[in-house]
């Protein structure tokens, strides 16, 4: 089989894998209750999420997965960007859709250090504990939580191909450092190359110099568009061989050495120590079970919002702007939903270790916050109305009904048994501020065993209690 035909088949195979993973991810995000396992598997393949877990000392399996992906990238180059990245797949679709309407040709663009300013700053802020900018532009987060930035990235891709990957993506920068001189990759045979420029015109990464007969391996995405377009079969896959005197390998070695030094320094510095000063918002929010502490959660969360979409009770929401440092990171909103007693879904799907995995037994004893009861605002005391909504929904017996000074049965609160799930606040009919409100803890604690034996999660009927 001729090289051009063979590479054309491989190109379409790559597209099928890339677009198939994108479609599967969109399906899983659209139906998180049905595809919880799928979300967990797909998110665990995302290099940016694994990188966030590595730099913030995530679980051992996340660190191992990141190192494995890094080693594979050092061998095969930026295969992640061409085969796995969901944002990359969407960008390819955006460009191809436009090119079908109006033809487009690419040109080689030499690498310039100033074009890396944005991803360098994003990674630096992430290291300091300010993870919001990183989470807003990291490719998996862009695709999992569509925003105006997602649309802008796709519009840019329609006109400039993979310019986002080269100049803006923090994941792309790290992969570029790792893949500057891969053991195996595409290379251009100068002895057979005709210099026609056909390969250069279809390269969406603008990393192929047809005249200089050179491929910038650090930017090559292994999309195989060039190899399938070459009329003479001059592109090869194997150990790259650059033209004589090519300084690319020396630059690649320096990039890899510098990147390795920075990565080691980032990993050896405690993320909680870096993030602690930035992790104290104006008011402690209720963090997801397994978040451990504000400092831990802020240092690990990459804003992919996978847990928000997977939460079966719609309790997790992006944090409002009132929590300055944690803005847009998932917190529990007890006016919208509450944390179900036996649910551990969020800890299963988190790809970075921001929410540590919990067993159901451990989850039942995890104290997310503490409730405060304003007896004077309770409808039993204030209006003389019979109500037991908060006690009815409390899964641990922390809120119970007892005859009080009002002569009626009214709620009583024992905070030793409270786990801060928010069920009482959600059920309370008093608005705009409930008579019983849960405040989060800076460090999650372990609660006392419940007073009552709960065999299944309670749910709140839309018509309950009035």
Could you tell me if 103 and 131 lie in one domain? yes
Could you tell me if 171 and 308 lie in one domain? no
Could you tell me if 264 and 153 lie in one domain? yes
Strands 235-238 and 185-188: antiparallel
pLDDT > 90? residue 105 = no
Q: What are phi and psi of 141, to 5 degrees?
A: -65, -35
Average pLDDT for 143-159: 89
Could you tell me if 301 and 388 lie in one domain? yes
Residue 439's CB is within 10 A of a number of other CB atoms, namely 15
Collapsing DSSP to helix, strand or coil, 111 comes out as coil
Composition of the chain by helix, strand, coil, percent to 5: 45, 10, 45
pLDDT > 90? residue 352 = no
* Position 23 in a domain: yes
Q: Is-contact 19 93, C-beta < 8 A?
A: yes
Residue 114's pLDDT is what?
Answer: 79
Residue 214's pLDDT is what?
Answer: 84
* Position 115 in a domain: yes
* Position 102 in a domain: yes
Residue 456's pLDDT is what?
Answer: 47
Could you tell me if 355 and 386 lie in one domain? yes
Sign of the alpha-carbon dihedral angle for 272, 276, 279, 282: positive
Which is more confidently placed, 95 or 40? 95
* Position 179 in a domain: yes
CA distance 361 to 449: 10
Residue 328's pLDDT is what?
Answer: 78
The pLDDT mean for the chain works out to 83
Angle at 345 (CA atoms; ends 343, 351), nearest 5 degrees: 150
Residue 309's pLDDT is what?
Answer: 86
Could you tell me if 326 and 263 lie in one domain? no
Residue 285's pLDDT is what?
Answer: 85
* Position 462 in a domain: no
pLDDT > 60? residue 119 = yes
Residue 259's pLDDT is what?
Answer: 61
pLDDT > 90? residue 370 = yes
Average pLDDT for 131-149: 85
What residues are paired with 332 via a beta bridge?
286, 316
Could you tell me if 282 and 189 lie in one domain? no
Residue 283's pLDDT is what?
Answer: 56
* Final residue in a domain of this structure, among 249, 268, 287: 268
pLDDT > 90? residue 58 = no
Contacts 24+ apart (CB under 8 A), 159-164: 159/98, 159/104, 161/91, 161/95, 161/106, 161/203, 161/204, 161/205, 161/206, 162/81, 162/88, 162/91, 162/204, 162/205, 162/206, 162/221, 163/206, 164/87, 164/91
Residue of 137, 31, 143 lying closest to 84 (CA atoms): 143
Sign of the alpha-carbon dihedral angle for 317, 320, 325, 328: positive
Could you tell me if 155 and 256 lie in one domain? yes
Average pLDDT for 304-313: 88
**pLDDT digit string, tens, across residues 59-94:** 778 888 888 999 999 899 999 999 999 999 999 999
Beta carbons within 8 Å of 270's beta carbon, 6+ residues apart: 57
CA distance 433 to 159: 50
User: Among 13-27, 234-248, 349-363, whose mean pLDDT is lowest?
Assistant: 234-248
CA distance 231 to 195: 11
Q: What are phi and psi of 133, to 5 degrees?
A: -60, -40
Tell me the pTM.
0.76
Residue 130's pLDDT is what?
Answer: 73
* Position 451 in a domain: no
Residue 323 maps to which CATH number? 3.30.70.20
Q: Count how many domains the chain has.
A: 2
* Final residue in a domain of this structure, among 225, 245, 268: 268
Could you tell me if 35 and 149 lie in one domain? yes
* Position 454 in a domain: no
* Final residue in a domain of this structure, among 211, 235, 268: 268
Could you tell me if 81 and 213 lie in one domain? yes
**pLDDT digit string, tens, across residues 241-293:** 655 334 455 555 666 566 666 666 666 666 655 555 444 444 578 999 999 98
140 is in which domain, residue-wise?
Answer: 3-268
Could you tell me if 181 and 61 lie in one domain? yes
Could you tell me if 225 and 287 lie in one domain? no
* Position 7 in a domain: yes
How many angstroms separate the Cα of 221 from the Cα of each of 12, 227, 247, 327? 15, 12, 20, 33
Residue 281's pLDDT is what?
Answer: 44
Please report which helix (H) or strand (E) contains residue 203, including its range. Answer: none
Residue of 198, 189, 162, 188 lying closest to 80 (CA atoms): 162
């Amino acid at each position: 089989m001729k090289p051009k035909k063979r590479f054309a088949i491989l190109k379409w195979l790559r597209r099928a894998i890339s677009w198939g993973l994108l479609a599967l991810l969109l399906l899983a995000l659209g139906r998180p209750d049905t595809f919880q396992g799928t979300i967990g598997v797909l998110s665990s393949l995302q290099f940016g999420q694994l990188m966030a877990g590595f730099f913030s000392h995530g679980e051992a399996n996340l660190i191992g997965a990141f190192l494995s992906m890094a080693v594979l990238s050092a061998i095969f180059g930026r295969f992640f960007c061409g085969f796995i990245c969901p944002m990359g797949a969407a960008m390819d679709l955006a460009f191809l859709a436009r090119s079908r309407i109006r033809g487009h040709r690419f040109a080689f663009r030499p690498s310039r250090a100033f074009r890396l300013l944005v991803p360098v700053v994003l990674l630096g802020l992430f290291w300091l504990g300010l993870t919001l900018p990183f989470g807003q532009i990291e490719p998996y987060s862009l695709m999992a939580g569509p925003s105006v930035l997602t649309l802008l990235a796709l519009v840019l891709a329609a006109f400039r191909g993979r310019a986002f990957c080269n100049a803006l993506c923090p994941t792309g920068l790290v992969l570029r450092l790792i893949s500057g001189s891969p053991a195996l990759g595409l290379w251009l045979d100068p002895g057979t190359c005709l210099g026609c420029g056909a390969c250069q015109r279809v390269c969406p990464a603008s990393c192929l110099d047809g005249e200089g007969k050179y491929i910038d391996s650090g930017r090559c995405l292994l999309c195989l568009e060039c190899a399938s377009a070459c009329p003479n079969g001059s592109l090869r896959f194997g150990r790259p061989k650059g033209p004589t005197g090519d300084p690319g390998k020396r630059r690649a070695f320096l990039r890899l050495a510098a990147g390795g030094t920075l990565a080691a320094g980032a990993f050896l510095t405690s993320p909680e120590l870096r993030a602690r000063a930035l992790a104290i918002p104006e008011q402690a929010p209720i963090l997801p079970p397994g978040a451990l502490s504000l400092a831990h959660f802020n240092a690990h969360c990459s804003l992919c919002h996978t847990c928000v979409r997977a939460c079966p009770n719609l309790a997790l929401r992006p944090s409002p702007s009132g929590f300055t440092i944690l803005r847009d990171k998932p917190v529990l909103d007890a006016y919208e939903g509450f944390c179900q007693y036996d649910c551990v879904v969020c800890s299963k799907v988190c790809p970075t270790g921001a929410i540590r995995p919990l067993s159901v037994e451990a989850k039942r004893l995890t104290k997310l916050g503490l409730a405060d009861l304003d007896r004077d605002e309770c409808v039993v005391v204030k209006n003389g109305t019979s109500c037991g909504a908060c006690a009815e929904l409390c899964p641990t017996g922390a809120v119970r009904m007892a005859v009080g000074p009002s002569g009626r049965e009214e709620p009583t609160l024992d905070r030793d048994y409270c786990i801060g799930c928010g069920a009482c606040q959600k059920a309370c009919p008093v608005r705009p501020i409930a008579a019983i409100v849960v405040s989060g803890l800076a460090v999650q604690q372990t609660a006392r065993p419940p007073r009552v034996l709960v065999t299944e999660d309670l749910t709140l009927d839309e018509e309950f209690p009035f």
